[in-house]
């Protein structure tokens, strides 16, 4: 077992033990985030040449899944920190080393182009306000997606669309807004971030949809959006396995009203758990099988074709949404005990339902993949 997965198991148990604290605080505790950073869990997608771990995709996703089995909010923060590390592969190595010089550095941000980057000299002046800035309270560096503006209008790129870049800046230069009052994934601290008139050199910006990575590793042949979607799914897979753990723990001691048998001894509970387990195992197997095929292609060909990218997104969406449905079934099997805030199954349900709202695994993904399967012309930039 890699040291990353061993560390993930340790931190998963710590997160499980502190899950209520994490949810109440609405952010990942600084000491837990710092420990995870020291263990390298936020550097798994950063190139080795600049001090990262550059792990294989399956290791990255199993790390996230393992954390999710302990606590979904912790896993979500790890997923965001890990996947934003891919930005380093697109930067000049000297710039990337500067950002990741401190072993405890955590990066985060929002890719969605909610900002405006006005061209000024060799750089940009950035204004914007972004939602969903997960884990930002523990970050040293943040990134904000923006439309590049020139002469008062969006600059059109070579692909005929407005140029979209992710601009990176020290977290201290942003204002973090505590607006994260939600039903699930409460501990991710996914509030808003805002900057005004911030000067950012062009060298600290990347265009993930059009730029080519500077780093040459096979990991960076993997589609960036595929990595994000698969990371979201890994959180939800882990959360579903954690819900199975929670149900089994509950069932061994609970006697439904009017029954002498524990919930574990009831045939309906046994059958329900078994069916849910089969669905989850099957979705997970398809997920990791697709990841393995994508990784083989990335290593052998140095790129991933549209068909394989579509399969990766399909596997991610299927795993995410199946996992959420499994959690709903397990919550139902727990009966009245599941509805109390003191029981983890209700948190598992809320975390799952919020997780599948992410656009990378939302239901419209099936339409995008379906177009590819039908052989229709498809904008594959989001795959």
pLDDT tens digit string along 160-172? 889 999 999 999 9
- Confidence (pLDDT) at 259: 63
Question: Are residues 342 and 271 located together in one domain of the fold?
Answer: yes
Q: What is the pLDDT of residues 217-237, one digit of tens each?
A: 999 999 999 999 999 999 999
Q: Does some domain include residue 309?
A: yes
Q: What is the pLDDT of residues 134-150, one digit of tens each?
A: 999 999 999 999 999 99
Q: Does some domain include residue 213?
A: no
Task: State how many domains the chain has.
Answer: 3
Question: Are residues 249 and 369 located together in one domain of the fold?
Answer: yes
Question: Are residues 197 and 146 located together in one domain of the fold?
Answer: yes
CA of residue 87 relative to chain centroid, distance:
14
Question: Are residues 145 and 228 located together in one domain of the fold?
Answer: no
Give the mean pLDDT of 17-34.
Answer: 98
Question: Are residues 354 and 240 located together in one domain of the fold?
Answer: yes
Domain end, chosen from 31, 64, 96, is at 96
- Confidence (pLDDT) at 262: 87
Question: Are residues 201 and 278 located together in one domain of the fold?
Answer: no
Number of C-alpha atoms within 13 angstroms, CB side, residue 246?
32
Q: Can you give the residue range of the structural domain that contains 142?
A: 107-206
Buried b (16+ CB within 10 A) or exposed e, 73-110: bbbbbbbbbbbbbbbbbbbeeebbeebbeeeebbbbbb
- Confidence (pLDDT) at 150: 93
- Confidence (pLDDT) at 381: 81
- Confidence (pLDDT) at 129: 98
Q: Please identify which residue in the block is written with the tokens 């969605």.
A: 112
Give the mean pLDDT of 82-110.
Answer: 96
- Under the banding of pLDDT at 50, 70 and 90, the label for residue 380 is confident
Taking each helix axis from N to C end, the angle separating 344-355 and 224-251, rounded to the nearest 10 degrees, works out to 160
Whether the predicted pLDDT of 255 surpasses 80: no
Q: Does some domain include residue 214?
A: no
Question: Are residues 201 and 264 located together in one domain of the fold?
Answer: no
d(CA 35, CA 66): 16
Domain end, chosen from 206, 234, 268, is at 206
Question: Are residues 28 and 75 located together in one domain of the fold?
Answer: yes
Whether the predicted pLDDT of 2 surpasses 90: no
Instruction: Please state which of the ranges 197-206, 217-226, 255-264 shows the lowest mean pLDDT.
Output: 255-264
Provide CB contacts within 8 A for 70, sequence distance 6+.
11, 12, 13, 14, 15, 16, 19, 238, 242
Q: What is the pLDDT of residues 99-118, one digit of tens each?
A: 999 989 999 999 999 999 99
Give the mean pLDDT of 330-356.
Answer: 95
Domain end, chosen from 43, 71, 96, is at 96
Q: Does some domain include residue 216?
A: no
Say what the pTM is: 0.96
Q: What is the pLDDT of residues 294-321, one digit of tens each?
A: 999 999 999 999 999 999 999 999 999 9
Question: Are residues 131 and 230 located together in one domain of the fold?
Answer: no
- Under the banding of pLDDT at 50, 70 and 90, the label for residue 254 is low
Q: Does some domain include residue 71?
A: yes
| CATH code of the domain covering residue 363 | 1.20.140.10
| CATH code of the domain covering residue 199 | 2.40.110.10
Whether the predicted pLDDT of 258 surpasses 60: no
- Confidence (pLDDT) at 245: 97
Question: Are residues 87 and 175 located together in one domain of the fold?
Answer: no
Q: How far is CA 13 from CA 32, 98, 149, in A?
A: 11, 33, 47
Sign of CA dihedral 37, 41, 45, 48: positive
| CATH code of the domain covering residue 9 | 1.10.540.10
């Amino acid at each position: 077992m890699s040291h990353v997965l061993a560390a993930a198991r340790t931190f998963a148990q710590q997160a499980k033990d502190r899950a209520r604290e994490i949810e109440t605080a609405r952010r990942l505790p600084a000491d837990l985030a710092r420990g995870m950073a020291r263990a390298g869990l936020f550097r798994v997608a950063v190139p080795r040449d600049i001090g990262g771990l550059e792990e294989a995709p399956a290791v990255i996703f199993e790390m996230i899944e393992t954390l999710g089995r302990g606590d979904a909010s912790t896993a979500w923060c790890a997923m965001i920190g890990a996947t934003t590390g891919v930005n380093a592969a697109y930067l000049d190595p000297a710039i990337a080393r500067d950002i990741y010089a401190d072993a405890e550095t955590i990066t985060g941000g929002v890719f969605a182009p909610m900002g405006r980057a006005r061209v000024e000299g060799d750089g940009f002046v950035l204004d914007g306000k972004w939602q969903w800035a997960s884990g930002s309270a523990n970050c040293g560096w943040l990134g904000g997606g923006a439309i590049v503006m020139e002469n008062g209008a969006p600059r059109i790129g070579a692909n005929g669309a407005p140029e979209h870049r992710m601009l990176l800046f020290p977290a201290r230069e942003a204002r973090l807004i505590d607006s994260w009052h939600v039903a699930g994934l409460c501990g991710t601290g996914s509030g808003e971030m805002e900057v005004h008139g911030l000067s950012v050199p062009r060298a600290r910006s990347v265009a993930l949809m059009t730029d080519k990575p500077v780093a040459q590793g096979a990991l960076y042949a993997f589609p960036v959006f595929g990595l994000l979607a698969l990371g979201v799914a890994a959180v939800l897979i882990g959360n579903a396995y954690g819900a199975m753990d929670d149900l089994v723990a509950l069932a061994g001691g609970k006697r439904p009203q009017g029954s002498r048998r524990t919930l574990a001894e009831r045939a309906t509970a046994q059958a329900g758990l078994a069916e849910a387990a089969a669905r989850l195992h099957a979705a997970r197997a398809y997920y990791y099988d697709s990841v393995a095929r994508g990784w083989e292609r990335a290593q052998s060909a140095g790129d991933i074709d549209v068909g394989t990218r579509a399969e990766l997104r399909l596997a991610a969406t299927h795993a995410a949404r199946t996992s959420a449905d499994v959690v709903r079934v397990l919550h139902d099997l727990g009966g009245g005990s599941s509805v109390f805030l003191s029981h983890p199954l209700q948190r598992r349900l809320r975390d799952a339902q919020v997780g599948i709202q992410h656009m990378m695994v939302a239901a419209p993904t099936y339409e995008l993949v379906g177009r590819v399967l039908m052989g229709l012309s498809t904008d594959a930039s989001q795959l």
